[in-house]
Amino acid sequence: MNKLFIFLFYFFLLNNSYSQETQSIEIIADEMEWNKQKNEAIALGNAKATKGNTVIIANKIIATLTDTSKDQQIVKLIAIGKVKFTRMGEVATGKKAIYDLEKDIIVIKGNVNLQKDKNIMAGESLIINLGTGLSKLSGSNNNNKVKMKYNTKN
């Protein structure tokens, strides 16, 4: 059963989870703070980060920047509170997300739901490698199982 679930989950995300080419990232929010010492930009209230067709919405988004003063780039996004990650018709929600832009991997934790069309998967932790298309949904340490509702034609 576990292998079947992994196969279905892999198939579910494979066709839409390939890495995007280098693109700019736009971050908007009610307020923005900068911490030069930590090389962070903090978006507060209705925060939204967009990179191509990938969108992260949360109460707060922390963008970690490279430490070089010339041509600073965002290397990581940390989204906290009512996180919603969307990409190519897929929607994942949770309490916290960390998007490593250098590795092209996003980790979403805390009451995670993943939905595409009417198909829904639920667990405690979701790891999506946007470069390879591989994903893993896990339950909690308290023996909570991963759940899946997948619609069929019949």
pLDDT band at 15 (very low <50, low <70, confident <90, very high): very low
In a domain, 117, yes or no: yes
Q: How many domains does one find in the chain?
A: 1
In a domain, 133, yes or no: yes
pLDDT at 7 over 50: no
> What is this structure's pTM?
0.80
CATH value at residue 104? 2.60.450.10
Side-chain-facing half-sphere of 74: CA atoms under 13 Å: 24
On the 0-12 / 13-18 / 19+ scale of CB atoms within 10 A, 121 is: buried
In a domain, 11, yes or no: yes
Write the pLDDT tens digit of every residue in 33-42.
998 889 999 9
Find where tokens 């929607």 sit.
91
In a domain, 154, yes or no: no
Cβ count within 10 A of residue 35: 11
**Contact between 17 and 31 (Cβ < 8 Å):** no
Residue 21, domain extent: 2-149
Write the pLDDT tens digit of every residue in 115-137.
988 889 999 999 999 889 888 99
Name beta bridge partners: 61.
43, 79
In a domain, 115, yes or no: yes
Write the pLDDT tens digit of every residue in 18-72.
434 457 899 999 999 998 889 999 999 999 999 999 999 999 999 999 876 677 8
